[in-house]
Amino acid sequence: MTLQSKHFSPLDPASPEPIYRQIYWRFRGAISDGLLAPGDRIPAARALAKELGLARGTIDTAYSLLTAEGYLLARGQAGTVVAPGINVRKPSARAEQPLHAATSIRHKAPVLPFQMALPALDAFPRKIWSQIGARCVRATRIPDMANPSVLGLESLRTAIATYLQVARGITCSPAQVFITSGYRNTLALIAHALLKPGDRVLVEDPGYLPTRQLLAHLQIEVAPVPVDQDGMQVSQGVSSTMDARAAVVTPAHQSPLCVSLSLPRRLELLEWATRQQAWIVEDDYDGEYRYVSRPLPALKSLDRDGRVLYAGTFSKVLFPGIRLSYLVVPPAQVERFEHVSETFLGGCPELTQAIVATFLTEGHFARHIQRMRKLYGERREATARGLKKVLGDRIRIDLQPGGMHLILRLTGAQSDRALVERLLAAGIYAEALSDWRVRDETDSALLLGFANVDSEETAERLGKRILALM
């Protein structure tokens, strides 16, 4: 092809379409007309700029846009070519709407049935959320763009302190609330502030794997403590690891067994922490979701001596993609955490924080939780009924008062790991209880998220697919 083809002359400087975009469209035209074929090398930006009498940057911008949309492929020193795999005959709807690229370039893996730790996305108030989002985007002013606080947006810290008082019985000031970008971020912050390599930490067994992984990576030794119907067996843990510096627990609904840490054990744990000057990390990842009686107050609400670090998150109550969590530290530790935050925290985008703060202060948050509590209670019952109807005596379901997943005990000699592999291969999500354990145990169970199972019929249908793979 020649650069003097119809595709490259004349450009219109008077057009409302910027020059880079005119060039962009001309390349698109040249590709769809077959003047440029897949694999063809395109002119160097410098050469084309000279040819057309334009700034190099203009050509770069056009090329960068074409590359980002998949029309061109940059090959480093080998130059840039028309993307080999491109289908030039049938431009997709997307290709025709480059201005709406925002909708199409956010591509994701599909959500599988029984996905764990995923709230009911179909029931999320997306309309209200979008309205608040658009309002917050428009309300962005110059000072909002500068000087971000690594500790978090003041309005969000205040809204969280208020919410925790009402919903979880925790009395704290906004200064005690630190905004983080997720539980891992929260836990790393705690470790950097209060622990050092070589320290020993009690964790639940079975328990959440990322907790063990992160601590181990920081050269902190984890000491697994068995969990029974009343939660972590505190006496056994503190007596077998006398020098433990901290304990990480999930008191509301133990992760993954969904049992609650009993009041005597809560008090025992607090008493131990005070006596040993040790720390308790309360991972309250879904404390809001209790279906029988009201949610229990947080362990933190009983903390008289400032030993509990409370880790909350919006992943389960809003949605995981939001990447927003928080940590409440005892008043005496605020300064230390501020210092460590300055060193380690990147801070979270203020737009997201402003949207969540507004969602909280306008009352949408509290209403959403109430609606979800009702919905999940129904879905939990329906899922359990549907699965039981199909799977009968092959399983046993112990319904706990809270949580977002069911525990399907396998009554036969079935291996949960092997079954999970077959299920995943068939497009059904499940986790094996064995994978959450440190010590070997003989019991075998599937963990199944129920929040996105919309009816008993759906559960029955999925149950039949599980049955076929047992």
Give, as ranges, the residues between 383 and 422 that touch a second copy (CB under 8 A): none
Of the residues 31, 259, 322, 453, which one makes contact with a second copy according to CB under 8 A: 322
Please name the amino acid found at residue 304: R
The CA-based angle 355-372-231, given to 5 degrees, is 105
Which residue number, 186 or 444, has a Cβ lying nearer to a second copy? 186
Of the residues 76, 413, 442, 468, which one makes contact with a second copy according to CB under 8 A: 76
Of the residues 14, 89, 92, 106, which one makes contact with a second copy according to CB under 8 A: 106
The continuous run of DSSP H or E covering 56 comes out as helix 56-68
* Chain residues 182-201 in contact with a second copy, contact rule CB under 8 A: 182-185, 188, 192, 197
Minimum distance from residue 361 beta carbon to a second copy (Å): 4
Minimum distance from residue 352 beta carbon to a second copy (Å): 4
In whole angstroms, give the CA distance from residue 135 to residue 447.
40
Which residue number, 32 or 104, has a Cβ lying nearer to a second copy? 104
Minimum distance from residue 298 beta carbon to a second copy (Å): 14
CA 435 to chain centre: 20
Please count the residues of this chain forming the interface with a second copy, following the rule CB under 8 A.
111
Burial of residue 249, with CB atoms counted within 10 A of its CB: 0-12 exposed, 13-18 middle, 19 or more buried: buried
Which residue number, 3 or 55, has a Cβ lying nearer to a second copy? 55
Which residue number, 59 or 391, has a Cβ lying nearer to a second copy? 59
Minimum distance from residue 127 beta carbon to a second copy (Å): 10
Among candidate residues 214, 208, 211, the one with its CA nearest the CA of residue 253: 208
Please name the amino acid found at residue 23: I
Told to check if 97 binds a second copy by CB under 8 A, we report no
Which residue number, 18 or 91, has a Cβ lying nearer to a second copy? 18
Told to check if 89 binds a second copy by CB under 8 A, we report no
In whole angstroms, give the CA distance from residue 318 to residue 450.
16
Of the residues 12, 53, 85, 107, which one makes contact with a second copy according to CB under 8 A: 107
Which residue number, 183 or 337, has a Cβ lying nearer to a second copy? 183
* Chain residues 144-183 in contact with a second copy, contact rule CB under 8 A: 144-148, 153-155, 158-159, 162-163, 165-167, 171, 180-183
First to last CA, the chain: 61
Told to check if 332 binds a second copy by CB under 8 A, we report no
The CA-based angle 264-267-269, given to 5 degrees, is 110
In whole angstroms, give the CA distance from residue 169 to residue 160.
12
Strand residue runs (E) in 77-210: 80-82, 177-180, 200-205
* Chain residues 197-256 in contact with a second copy, contact rule CB under 8 A: 197, 210, 213-214, 217, 219
Of the residues 38, 124, 262, 274, which one makes contact with a second copy according to CB under 8 A: 124
Site string for a second copy, 415-454 (x = CB under 8 A): ----------------------------------------
Task: Give the sheet arrangement for strand 325-328, strand by strand.
Answer: 177-180, 325-328, 308-313, 279-283, 246-249, 200-205, 221-228, 231-232
> CA neighbours within 13 Å on the CB side: how many for 429?
18
Whether the Cβ atoms of residue 258 and residue 402 lie closer than 8 Å to each other: yes
